[in-house]
C-alpha cells in the first residue's frame, strides 16, 4: 500500500518538483499551497505524513500544525524551514511534529524521514488498535456481567416483566410473568397480549400499548386480571423502548397488588362494621324496651283467653313475631358487641365435629352430604370456641341453603407452610354467588334471600368475630351460568393464628355424611 504524503508550501515550483521526485519513489502525493488548503484537504481525507513549511503567508506553519493535530491526531508532521532555530524545533515538537528539515531539502534525507514518520504512525496505530481492543474486551466483559445481572434481577423479580413489539406480540418475558399467565417462557413468546390475557382486560392493555407506540410516552394503570379462574390485581407500567427516537418495543412491568387490595377491602369492611356496630347498638337498645312490653302483654293475654279460641291464635302470632324481632335484636347486639380477643384457645377440629353432631339431622333432611378432611396434629388457634362455632354454623347454614336440591359440603382444615396459621375451608357445590354480590356479602343486612328468610347479619357477625381474633375470611364463588360445563359452588376460607405450638394429638382425616360414614 502506498504511503500518502501531503506537501504544504507556498512556493509552488518547489512543491511540484518535490512531488514529482516522491512519486517516482512510489509515494501517493497530494499538494497544498497554504495552511488553509491543507486543513481543507485533511478534513476530507487522511494523509500518512504531512511535510509542512513553517514560513507561509496567511495561516502560519505552527498554527496549521496545531489544527492538523486536532483534525488528524495520528497523522505525522515533518516541518520544513529555511531559518531553523532551537526554539523553532522545540516549539514544533511540543505541538506534535515528529521531525524537521532545512531547506534546500535533500530528497534521500526527506524520504528517510518520511519512512521513519510512517513507521511511527503504524506503531501508534497498532498501539491504538491494541488499546481499543483491550478497552472493547473490557467493555464486552462488563456488558456481559451487566447483562447477566440484569437477567438475574429480571428472572428473580416477583413482578411480571415482558417486552412487546408493535404488533403486540410478546418478544421476551421473565419466569414469574409466564407462570402467572399460565404459560412456559417459550410457549408464550410470539403470542399477543389479547391471546394470553382474556376479556376486557386484554383489550385495555392492548389499547394502552397502541397509545404508547402512537405518542411515545409511558402509561400507568391498575387492572384486574383474570387468570386460571382466579382474579389478580396489578399495577401496570408501560415504558417505550427507543432506537434513534423511534419506539421499537414496549417494556411492561406488572406488580401484583392482590394482597394489598384484599387488605384494603378488609380495612374498608372493618371500618364500615365499626360504624354500623355503633348504629346497631343504638337501634337495638331503642327496640328492646317496646319489644319487651309487647311480649309481656302478649304473655298476659295468653293466660286470659282459651287456647282453642281465635283470640288465642292471634295473640300467639303476635308473640311468635315478637320473638322473631327479639332474635333480630339479639343478632344486632352480637354484631354491635364484636368480641374481644379471647384469652382462651380453641380446638378447631373438635369444634367442627361437635357442631356437626348438633346439625346433622337438619343437614340430612336437605340431602346434603358432608365430607370432612381434617388435618392431623392440628394446633389450637387463638379464639373462643363458642364464637367460632357460631361462625361455622353460619357458613354451614348458608351452604345448605345454597344446595336446595342437595349436594356436597366439604370441610377441611390445614396448617399453613410457616406453621403460624390454621386454614379452615367450607366448600359447597351450590348455586354460587354472583360476582356483583361478592363485594357486599359482609355488609350488614345484605341478603339475596326472600323477605323473612334471613336478616343479612350472619356473615357480618362472622366477619367481625374472625377479624377480632386476628383472622381473615375470604370467599371464592362461581355461579352455574359462569361455570358453564364446570362445577359451580362457593368456598369460604378462614385463616386463624395459631395459639400454641402443634400438639402430638391429632385426628385422622375422615369422610362423614350426616347420618352416614362416607360422602356416598
- CA dihedral of residues 311, 317, 320, 325 (deg, nearest 10): -120
Cα-based angle 457, 458, 462 (whole degrees, multiple of 5): 115
pLDDT > 70? residue 134: yes
Name which residue leads in pLDDT, 291 or 336: 291
Confidence band of 507 (pLDDT split at 50, 70, 90) = very low
Those residues whose C-beta lies under 8 Å from the C-beta of residue 147, and which sit 6 or more positions away, are none
In a domain, 518, yes or no: no
Burial class of residue 365 (count of CB atoms within 10 Å of its CB; 0-12, 13-18, 19+): exposed
Mean pLDDT of 426-448: 78
Mean pLDDT of 56-75: 92
Q: What is the CATH number of the domain that holds 217?
A: 3.30.450.20
Mean pLDDT of 20-37: 94
The C-alpha atoms of residue 163 and residue 239 are separated, in whole angstroms, by 10
pLDDT > 80? residue 361: no
In a domain, 141, yes or no: no
In a domain, 326, yes or no: yes
Condensed to tens digits (0 to 9), the pLDDT of residues 189-224 reads 999 988 888 788 888 999 999 999 999 899 999 888
Neighbours of 248 (CB within 10 A): 13
Pairing of strands 407-415, 368-373: parallel
pLDDT > 90? residue 49: yes
Domain count, the chain: 4
Listed residue (367, 386, 348) closest to 465, CA to CA: 386
**Phi, psi (deg, nearest 5) at residue 99:** -165, 175
Q: Which of 25-29, 100-104, 258-262, 299-303 has the highest mean pLDDT?
A: 25-29
Position 510 scores a pLDDT of 42
In a domain, 192, yes or no: yes
**302 and 393 part of one domain:** no
Return the C-alpha cell found at 473.
Answer: 375470611
**62 and 22 part of one domain:** yes
Confidence band of 378 (pLDDT split at 50, 70, 90) = very high
Confidence band of 333 (pLDDT split at 50, 70, 90) = low
The C-alpha atoms of residue 435 and residue 432 are separated, in whole angstroms, by 9
Position 40 scores a pLDDT of 95
**238 and 269 part of one domain:** no
In a domain, 503, yes or no: no
Burial class of residue 247 (count of CB atoms within 10 Å of its CB; 0-12, 13-18, 19+): middle
Mean pLDDT of 354-363: 80
Mean pLDDT of 338-359: 76
Q: Which residue has the cell 302470632?
A: 317
Position 503 scores a pLDDT of 46
Confidence band of 104 (pLDDT split at 50, 70, 90) = confident
Q: What percentage of the chain exceeds 70 in pLDDT?
A: 84
Mean of pLDDT over the chain: 83
**72 and 115 part of one domain:** yes
DSSP structural state of residue 442: T
The C-alpha atoms of residue 377 and residue 348 are separated, in whole angstroms, by 11
In a domain, 149, yes or no: no
- CA dihedral of residues 32, 57, 113, 4 (deg, nearest 10): -10
Position 519 scores a pLDDT of 36
String of b and e for 51-73 (b: at least 16 CB within 10 Å)?
bbbbbbeebebbebbebbeeebe
Confidence band of 88 (pLDDT split at 50, 70, 90) = confident
Whole-angstrom Cα Rg for the chain: 45
Sign of CA pseudo-dihedral 326, 331, 333, 336:
negative
Whether the CB-CB separation of 10 and 57 falls below 8 Å is answered with yes
Paired residues of 292 in beta bridges: none
Of 256, 275, 310, which residue sits at a domain end?
256
Position 342 scores a pLDDT of 47
Alpha helix positions (H), 83-198: 86-95, 107-156, 175-180, 185-188, 193-196
**399 and 454 part of one domain:** yes
Those residues whose C-beta lies under 8 Å from the C-beta of residue 171, and which sit 6 or more positions away, are 163, 164, 165, 189, 249
pLDDT > 80? residue 78: yes
**272 and 245 part of one domain:** no
Those residues whose C-beta lies under 8 Å from the C-beta of residue 66, and which sit 6 or more positions away, are 95
Those residues whose C-beta lies under 8 Å from the C-beta of residue 290, and which sit 6 or more positions away, are none
Of 89, 110, 128, which residue sits at a domain end?
128
Least confident of 43-57, 150-164, 389-403: 150-164
Mean pLDDT of 386-404: 88
Question: Residue 168 is part of which domain span?
Answer: 157-256
Neighbours of 309 (CB within 10 A): 10
Q: Which residue has the cell 399495577?
A: 235
Position 383 scores a pLDDT of 87
Listed residue (453, 452, 456, 454) closest to 442, CA to CA: 456
Position 516 scores a pLDDT of 39
In a domain, 144, yes or no: no
Q: Which residue has the cell 515528529?
A: 98
pLDDT > 70? residue 425: yes
Q: Is 454 helix (H, G, I), strand (E, B) or coil?
A: coil
Condensed to tens digits (0 to 9), the pLDDT of residues 288-320 reads 778 888 888 888 998 888 888 898 989 988 988
**490 and 425 part of one domain:** yes
In a domain, 134, yes or no: no
**484 and 424 part of one domain:** yes
pLDDT > 60? residue 112: yes
Confidence band of 509 (pLDDT split at 50, 70, 90) = very low
String of b and e for 149-172 (b: at least 16 CB within 10 Å)?
eeeeebeeeebbbbbbbeebebee
Sign of CA pseudo-dihedral 311, 317, 323, 328:
negative
Position 142 scores a pLDDT of 84
**35 and 162 part of one domain:** no
The C-alpha atoms of residue 455 and residue 446 are separated, in whole angstroms, by 8
Name which residue leads in pLDDT, 267 or 514: 267
Of 284, 317, 336, which residue sits at a domain end?
336
pTM: 0.40
Q: What is the CATH number of the domain that holds 462?
A: 3.30.565.10
**353 and 404 part of one domain:** yes
Q: Which residue has the cell 399460565?
A: 182
Name which residue leads in pLDDT, 401 or 362: 401
**352 and 481 part of one domain:** yes
Mean pLDDT of 489-505: 77
The C-alpha atoms of residue 322 and residue 500 are separated, in whole angstroms, by 44
Position 508 scores a pLDDT of 39
Position 324 scores a pLDDT of 77
Integer CA distances (angstroms), 350 to 61, 495, 503, 507, in order: 105, 17, 14, 9
The C-alpha atoms of residue 399 and residue 368 are separated, in whole angstroms, by 9
Mean pLDDT of 249-264: 83
The C-alpha atoms of residue 181 and residue 183 are separated, in whole angstroms, by 6
Position 443 scores a pLDDT of 73
Q: Is 314 helix (H, G, I), strand (E, B) or coil?
A: helix
The C-alpha atoms of residue 228 and residue 481 are separated, in whole angstroms, by 17
Q: Is 324 helix (H, G, I), strand (E, B) or coil?
A: helix
Least confident of 104-113, 123-132, 320-329, 383-392: 320-329
pLDDT > 90? residue 31: yes
Least confident of 4-13, 325-334, 376-385, 428-437: 325-334
Paired residues of 491 in beta bridges: 427, 476
Confidence band of 278 (pLDDT split at 50, 70, 90) = low
Those residues whose C-beta lies under 8 Å from the C-beta of residue 407, and which sit 6 or more positions away, are 367, 368, 369, 428, 429, 430, 489
**471 and 366 part of one domain:** yes
Amino acid at each position: 500500500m502506498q504511503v500518502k504524503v501531503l506537501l504544504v508550501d507556498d512556493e509552488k515550483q518547489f512543491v511540484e518538483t518535490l512531488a514529482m521526485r516522491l512519486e517516482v519513489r512510489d509515494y501517493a502525493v497530494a499538494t497544498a499551497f497554504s495552511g488553509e488548503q491543507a486543513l481543507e484537504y485533511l478534513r476530507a481525507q487522511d494523509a500518512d505524513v504531512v511535510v509542512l513549511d513553517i514560513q507561509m503567508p496567511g495561516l502560519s506553519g505552527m498554527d496549521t500544525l496545531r489544527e492538523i493535530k486536532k483534525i488528524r491526531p495520528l497523522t505525522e508532521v515533518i516541518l520544513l524551514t529555511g531559518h531553523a532555530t532551537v526554539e523553532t524545533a522545540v516549539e514544533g515538537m511540543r505541538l506534535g511534529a515528529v521531525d524537521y528539515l532545512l531547506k534546500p531539502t535533500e530528497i534521500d534525507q526527506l524520504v528517510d524521514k518520511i519512512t521513519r514518520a510512517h513507521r511511527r504512525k503504524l506503531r501508534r496505530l497498532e498501539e491504538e488498535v491494541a488499546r481499543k481492543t483491550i478497552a472493547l474486551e473490557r467493555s464486552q466483559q462488563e456488558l456481559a456481567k451487566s447483562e447477566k445481572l440484569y437477567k438475574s434481577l429480571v428472572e428473580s423479580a416477583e413482578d411480571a416483566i415482558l417486552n412487546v413489539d408493535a404488533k403486540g406480540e410478546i418478544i421476551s418475558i421473565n419466569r414469574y410473568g409466564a407462570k402467572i399467565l399460565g404459560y412456559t417462557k417459550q410457549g408464550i413468546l410470539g403470542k399477543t397480549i389479547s391471546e394470553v390475557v382474556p376479556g376486557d382486560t386484554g383489550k385495555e392493555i392492548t389499547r394502552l400499548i397502541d397509545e404508547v407506540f402512537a405518542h411515545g410516552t409511558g402509561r400507568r394503570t391498575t387492572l384486574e386480571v383474570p387468570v386460571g379462574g382466579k382474579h389478580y390485581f396489578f399495577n401496570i407500567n408501560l415504558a417505550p423502548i427507543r432506537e434513534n427516537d423511534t419506539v421499537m418495543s414496549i417494556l411492561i412491568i406488572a406488580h401484583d397488588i392482590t394482597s394489598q387490595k384484599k387488605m384494603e377491602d378488609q380495612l374498608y369492611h372493618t371500618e364500615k362494621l365499626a360504624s354500623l356496630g355503633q348504629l346497631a347498638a343504638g337501634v337495638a337498645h331503642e327496640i328492646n324496651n317496646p319489644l319487651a312490653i309487647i311480649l309481656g302483654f302478649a304473655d298476659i293475654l295468653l293466660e286470659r283467653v282459651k287456647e282453642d279460641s281465635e283470640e288465642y291464635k292471634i295473640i300467639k302470632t303476635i308473640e311468635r313475631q315478637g320473638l322473631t324481632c327479639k332474635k333480630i335484636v339479639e343478632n344486632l347486639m352480637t354484631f354491635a358487641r364484636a368480641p374481644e380477643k379471647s384469652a382462651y384457645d380453641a380446638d378447631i377440629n373438635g369444634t367442627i365435629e361437635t357442631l356437626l353432631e348438633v346439625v346433622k339431622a337438619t343437614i340430612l333432611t336437605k340431602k346434603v352430604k358432608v365430607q370432612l378432611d381434617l388435618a392431623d396434629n392440628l394446633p389450637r388457634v387463638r379464639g373462643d370456641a363458642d364464637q367460632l362455632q357460631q361462625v361455622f354454623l353460619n357458613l354451614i347454614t348458608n351452604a345448605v341453603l345454597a344446595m336446595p336440591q342437595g349436594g356436597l359440603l366439604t370441610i377441611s382444615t390445614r396448617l399453613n407452610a410457616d406453621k403460624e396459621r390454621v386454614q379452615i375451608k367450607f366448600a359447597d357445590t351450590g348455586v354460587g354467588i354472583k360476582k356483583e354480590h361478592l363485594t357486599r356479602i359482609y355488609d350488614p343486612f345484605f341478603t339475596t334471600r326472600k323477605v323473612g328468610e334471613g336478616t343479612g347479619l350472619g356473615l357480618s357477625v362472622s366477619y367481625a368475630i374472625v377479624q377480632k381474633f386476628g383472622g381473615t375470611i375470604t370467599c371464592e364463588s362461581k355461579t352455574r351460568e359462569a361455570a358453564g360445563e364446570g362445577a359451580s359452588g362457593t368456598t369460604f376460607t378462614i385463616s386463624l393464628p395459631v395459639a400454641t405450638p402443634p400438639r402430638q394429638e391429632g385426628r385422622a382425616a375422615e369422610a362423614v355424611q350426616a347420618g352416614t360414614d362416607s360422602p356416598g
